Chain A
Amino acid sequence: MNGNGWAVEIEDLVKTFDSFVAVDHVSMQVRKGEILGFLGPNGAGKSTTIRMLCGLLTPTAGRAHVSGFDVGTQPEEIRRTIGYMSQKFSLYDDLTVEENIDFFAGMYSVPRERRAERKDYVLAMANLTERRRALTRTLSGGWKQRLALGCAILHDPPVLFLDEPTSGVDPIARRAFWRLIHDLAETGHTIFVSTHYMDEAEYCHRLALMYRGKVIALGPPAELKRGLTSHSLLHLDSSDPLETMRVLESVAGVLDVAVFGGGLHVVVDDVEATSERVRQALAGRGIEVKRLEQIEPSMEDVFVAMIEAEERKAA
């Protein structure tokens, strides 16, 4: 660990592929034991950033340190101190649970005297003790994912990079997985996790919203939500959502409208006055309002609002 105590330090990190800028001057610092969530649409640069931090890609510009090691010049040291779970399930399907664990224990050179203990820990953690001799191919998604996590932490790495670990896993397994992540963080592991599930963002200590290669917001989930409190959010259910959207565009005080589930989320500056104007405008068009009330913004609202603000800035 380096002197200033950050587990991960990123300074102006840039990665370009030909003319495409995948990661555009990203900077941040992550504490030991922190869960940092990378949020963003596909292609925002989450995986590329994680790959650079794992030493799998060489940064085009900028610097990053993981556990004090430079990702550009010390990839060997990096590989010993990190655990990585790639986006694609990447264990060997034709090996048994145990054989996969033994293989990765070999890869990370887990000391002989700790091997049995680490293996038992991973088997217990993944709830696979009973199925240790089963072929990995026969496991369901949630189990495979926990086994993959287990294989990535066999050497007890101080920093973990998980690239969309929960994609394609059912909600119950996802919740169990997040419990594991929190346990790991509590024992001092630093965890980078990317996801596109907004509900998962709430599990993170801090969030980095990535959009088009840039980090457009960075902070704890609650703080990011408060960032929206200069405005208020209304939930609106109506008989004709599409027509409603069109009508709302011309209503004074409506800052933004987004489709949310079967209804609409409407950003306004003054709840009372604007609600009244909305009701009147819709009544005038013969649209029935089923529900109109102020709600607490969700992470998705924050995310959508931030991206739209970013796009307005660009335009």
Chain B
Amino acid sequence: MSYRRLRAIFVKELHHIVRDARSLGLALAMPVLMLMLYGYALSLDVDRIPTLVYDQDQTEASRDLVRQFQGSRFFDIRGFVDNYGAIERGVDRNRILMGLVIPRNYSKHVGAGRTAPVQILLDGSDSNTASIAKGYAESVVRDYSLELRTDMLNRRGGEHSAVPVDARLRVWYNSSLESKNYVVPGLMAVILMIIAAQLTSLTIAREWEMGTMEQLLSTPLRPAEMVLGKMLAYFAVGLTDAAIVVLVGVFVFQVPFRGSVPLLALSTCVFLFGTLFWGIFISTAAKTQLQAYQMGLLSTFLPGLILSGFVWAIESMPKVIQAITYIVPARYFVTIVKGIFLKGAGIRVLWGELAFLALYAAIMFILATRKLSQKLV
């Protein structure tokens, strides 16, 4: 390994990067764009469920029940109607997800201490959202009926009676249960993987296409020097991307950052090494820049989004798919980034993931160098 040649390759690649302002701009803007797009679009929160109320009873008691829904941040009462048809039309036109129907003699039943049925209509075409909405609606109704019963008992018995069991829930690490806190750190990892592989995927294919490779091959340059020199130049861009993504996450998405900055920086570097080498490997294997670009995108986008566990829990995947996720580096990086951001996890917890990323980088370096050597002959 010659330091002179390594440095010459590195400097030359930096010149390419800086001269191609459009690609550089794209490489820096892409992660922000993707983070914004996915960060906002991939919200898994169900709240402010648009609801219409058909109150047939029109009494103090029925209005009290409606107030329970109005008081919850999970429901947004969009209006009151006087027939089923209006609810049906609302669902059909995607204006509402839920209808609340209070029957005519609701207050009579309640007043007499009998069970008073209320009807909740849900748009089940999005089963996930519908089941979450169902849960919220049930809990509002359950709480309210418990309250009514307690009141009634108190009035009847004269002596004070409390709610029998009261669960006090505390959610750790993401206390407000906001999905962005969970999605955004994972997304950062996935975006970095996609971008980093893109950065290097063209670099060797371009040399072949331009005819400069033949010239390089006639010089004493060695494959390892070329792979390392190119990687280091794009590493500068990748690290800038990482910094941008973290800053957007912390300041735009307000994701809490609880862990160590040096640990995040270290893991990001190791992860970038591996992914950049992967891009170079692809570039060496591909015949053209177009092919390299497509292979780069395909090999990072889908595994990154689906198999990294950044949204979809790996534990709930079929066993075969679970096994595949072990070779997706994003899986480990997602764990690291989420751990550092949300739990403040340290090296003692994350060393295993970090070790895998280092191993992956080493393997990718060897693969890229080998592949390049084959072509020298």
The interface size of chain A toward B, counting residues with CB under 8 Å, comes to: 29
Residue of A nearest to B220 (CB): A79
* Residues of chain A within 8 A of B2, CB atoms compared: 109
Within 8 A of B (CB), among A71-115: 75-76, 79-80, 82, 84, 86, 88-95, 99, 102-109
* Residues of chain B within 8 A of A58, CB atoms compared: 377
One of B12, B215, B218, B221 near A99 (C-beta < 8 A): B12
Residues 12-26 of B, flagged 1 when their CB comes within 8 A of A and 0 if not, give 100110011000000
Known: A86-B214, A88-B214. A104 touches B219 (CB 8 A): yes
* Residues of chain B within 8 A of A94, CB atoms compared: 15-16, 19-20
Distance (Å) between the CB of A165 and the closest chain B CB?
Answer: 13
Distance in angstroms between the alpha carbons of A40 and B231 in the assembled complex:
42
Instruction: Answer yes or no: B349 CB below 8 A from chain A CBs.
Output: no
Instruction: Answer yes or no: A56 CB below 8 A from chain B CBs.
Output: yes
Instruction: Answer yes or no: A54 CB below 8 A from chain B CBs.
Output: yes
Distance (Å) between the CB of B168 and the closest chain A CB?
Answer: 65
* Residues of chain B within 8 A of A54, CB atoms compared: 218
* Residues of chain A within 8 A of B211, CB atoms compared: 86, 88-90
* Residues of chain A within 8 A of B16, CB atoms compared: 92, 94-95
Contact B5 A107 (CB under 8 A): yes
Distance in angstroms between the alpha carbons of A185 and B210 in the assembled complex:
30
Residue of B nearest to A110 (CB): B4
Known: A89-B211, A94-B15, A94-B16. A103 touches B218 (CB 8 A): no
Interface of B is mostly: helix
One of A76, A86, A93, A95 near B220 (C-beta < 8 A): A76
Distance (Å) between the CB of A179 and the closest chain B CB?
Answer: 24
Instruction: Answer yes or no: B212 CB below 8 A from chain A CBs.
Output: yes
* Residues of chain B within 8 A of A82, CB atoms compared: 218
Instruction: Answer yes or no: B8 CB below 8 A from chain A CBs.
Output: yes
Contact A107 B221 (CB under 8 A): yes
Contact B19 A90 (CB under 8 A): no
Distance in angstroms between the alpha carbons of A125 and B154 in the assembled complex:
106
Contact A103 B215 (CB under 8 A): no
Residue of B nearest to A106 (CB): B8
Instruction: Answer yes or no: B11 CB below 8 A from chain A CBs.
Output: yes
Contact B215 A109 (CB under 8 A): no
Residue of A nearest to B8 (CB): A106
Contact B214 A109 (CB under 8 A): no
Distance in angstroms between the alpha carbons of A57 and B217 in the assembled complex:
10
Instruction: Answer yes or no: B216 CB below 8 A from chain A CBs.
Output: yes
Contact A103 B217 (CB under 8 A): no
Distance in angstroms between the alpha carbons of A80 and B212 in the assembled complex:
18
Within 8 A of A (CB), among B190-214: 210-212, 214
Contact A103 B11 (CB under 8 A): yes
Known: A90-B214, A109-B2, A109-B220. A103 touches B377 (CB 8 A): no
* Residues of chain B within 8 A of A102, CB atoms compared: 8, 11
Distance (Å) between the CB of A53 and the closest chain B CB?
Answer: 10
* Residues of chain A within 8 A of B376, CB atoms compared: 56, 75
Contact A79 B218 (CB under 8 A): yes
Distance in angstroms between the alpha carbons of A89 and B214 in the assembled complex:
10
Distance (Å) between the CB of B217 and the closest chain A CB?
Answer: 6
Contact B216 A107 (CB under 8 A): yes
Distance (Å) between the CB of A280 and the closest chain B CB?
Answer: 56
* Residues of chain B within 8 A of A56, CB atoms compared: 214, 217-218, 376
Contact B4 A109 (CB under 8 A): yes
* Residues of chain B within 8 A of A57, CB atoms compared: 377
Contact A90 B4 (CB under 8 A): no
Residue of B nearest to A108 (CB): B219
Contact B218 A95 (CB under 8 A): no
Q: Which chain A residues have a beta carbon within 8 Å of chain B's beta carbons?
A: 54-58, 75-76, 79-80, 82, 84, 86, 88-95, 99, 102-109
Q: Which chain B residues have a beta carbon within 8 Å of chain A's beta carbons?
A: 2, 4-5, 7-9, 11-12, 15-16, 19-20, 210-212, 214-221, 376-377
Since A106-B4, A109-B2 are in contact, a sample of 12 more A-B pairs with Cβ atoms closer than 8 Å, ordered by chain A residue number, is A76-B220, A86-B211, A88-B214, A89-B211, A90-B215, A91-B215, A95-B15, A105-B8, A106-B5, A106-B11, A107-B220, A109-B5
Can you list 27 A-B contacts with CB-CB less than 8 angstroms, sorted by A residue number? Answer: A54-B218, A57-B377, A79-B218, A79-B220, A82-B218, A84-B218, A86-B214, A86-B215, A88-B211, A90-B211, A90-B212, A90-B214, A91-B212, A94-B19, A95-B16, A95-B19, A99-B12, A103-B8, A103-B12, A105-B8, A106-B4, A106-B5, A106-B8, A107-B8, A107-B219, A107-B220, A109-B4
